[in-house]
Amino acid sequence: MTVIEVGREDRGGLTLRQRWSHYLVLIYGVAMLLISINLRDSILYATVPYEDVRAGIRAFYPKGWLLDNEGDYVFRVRDMTRPDFKTTIQVQIIPISVDSTARNLLDNLLLTRAQIFGQYRQYPRAAFQLSDESTATAVNYTFVAGQDDPFLESFPTVVAGQDIVVLQREQAVIVTFQVSAERYDQLYPVFQTFLEDLDF
């Protein structure tokens, strides 16, 4: 049996069936847009748990980044897929005296880093609100980093960084984020997510 639609054309010359087909394609398009954004976020912001019982730190770092806890820090993760400067998040705990302030600590960091990094420049310090409503001190800075391997013959990279300093009992927790300056805005949400999940 053949069904013939009679008198079902609208002003645009489309039948009801044709209009519904078009609507379904539009619905498919919107659904794919939302799924794509969700898929992007689930991969870009995928994290891996890390816990150091001795230091009392629990964190979620970006999936695929290289974990390293061999240095003078609790742990450090780096995005080794970057061809230039490897984006870095580092958590460090420094014992301090009761009288120490965040300013003492940041001055000390300034003096140390100025000797290590080329063109190191620190910008005004500001209060920073953590996810648990406590207040920390944040400082932004820039420096110029070159490749360790001389055979790569690459241009130096301008690196932008941020230190978040939290004074807690007789220790200071310093959370550091360093990234190529041109991708700072793009990757800062990764650091924000890391800070929100950081527990110490």
Partner 1 sequence: MTTTSRLITPPQEDEIYPYRRVWFSIALEAGLLLAICVGMFIAFNVIGVQLPIIFRQVINIGLVALPVVLWFLFSLAREQAVSLPRQRMLTVLIVTGLAANAIGLPILQNVFQIDRWLPLADAPTRLVGYAITVGSLQEIIKYLVVRYTTYPTLFRIRLDSVAYTVASALGYSTVLNLQFALTTNTDPGTLGLEIFATTAFHIVASLLVAYGLSELRFASPSPILLPLTVVLAALIHGLAIPLRAGLINAGFSLSGGFTTPLFGLIVAIGLLVGVGSTMAFLFERAERAAREASAESGRST
Residues that bind partner 1 (CB under 8 A): 2-5, 13-14, 17-18, 20-22, 24-25, 27-29, 32-33, 35-37, 39-40, 43-44, 64, 81
The torsion of the CA quartet 144, 147, 150, 154, rounded to 10 degrees, works out to -80
Shortest distance in whole angstroms from residue 20 CB to partner 1: 4
Helix (H, G, I), strand (E, B) or coil at 184: helix
Shortest distance in whole angstroms from residue 42 CB to partner 1: 9
- Of 18 and 108, the one with the shorter C-beta distance to partner 1 is 18
Shortest distance in whole angstroms from residue 141 CB to partner 1: 25
Q: Are 143 and 50 in contact (CB under 8 A)?
A: no
- Of 21 and 129, the one with the shorter C-beta distance to partner 1 is 21
Shortest distance in whole angstroms from residue 88 CB to partner 1: 17
Q: Which residue, chain included where needed, has tokens 């150091």? A: 52
- Of 29 and 124, the one with the shorter C-beta distance to partner 1 is 29
Q: Are 52 and 197 in contact (CB under 8 A)?
A: no
**Residue 97: beta bridge partners?**
none
Q: Which residue type occupies 17?
A: R
- Of 10 and 107, the one with the shorter C-beta distance to partner 1 is 10
SS3 content of the chain, % helix, strand, coil (to 5): 30, 35, 35
Q: Which residue type occupies 122?
A: Q
